[in-house]
Amino acid sequence: MRRSYLGEFEEVVLLTVAVLGTGAYGVAITDELDRQTGRAVSISAVHAALHRLEEKGMLKSHLGEATAERGGRRKRLFSVTILGSRTLHDIRAVRDQLWDSISPQGLPAVSL
């Protein structure tokens, strides 16, 4: 099976949906991305990535219940599919393998 390519932003959006679980919707994802990465992202960029991930079969969505705080509007809630989970695990395995392949002299020391 051919794996779909994920860019860095799509990867962190997919991971963020996994982090949020059942509460994953546009604004919550945007806020969590900002909190976790320190990167301010626009809601439109998040929505575009969510749409691409859903088209690739890595996310699925459904409309939640209408809420008074949203003026009776419903949230579109996202969840990670089996394909999305498999893709994230594959990406992690490749990254771990690469990190494990670096010799102790391979990277200059950094102060965190």
CATH number at residue 37: 1.10.10.10
pLDDT at position 1: 46
What residues make up the domain containing 64? 8-93
Element (H, E) at 67: none
66-106 pLDDT tens trace: 777 766 788 899 999 999 999 999 999 999 999 899 887 77
The DSSP string of 5-25 is P--HHHHHHHHHHHHHGGG--
Spatial CB neighbours of 88, under 8 Å, sequence gap ≥ 6: 11, 14, 15, 18, 80
The model's pTM is 0.84
- Structural domains in the chain (count): 1
User: Is residue 52 assigned to a domain?
Assistant: yes
The upper half-sphere exposure of residue 82, i.e. CA atoms within 13 Å in the direction of its Cβ, equals 0
pLDDT in tens, 2-24: 566 799 999 999 999 999 999 99
Q: Domain for residue 98, yes or no?
A: no
Residues 73 and 69: their CA atoms lie apart, in Å, by 9
pLDDT at 82: 97
Given a cut of 60, is residue 27 above it in pLDDT?
yes
Residue 1 belongs to a domain: no
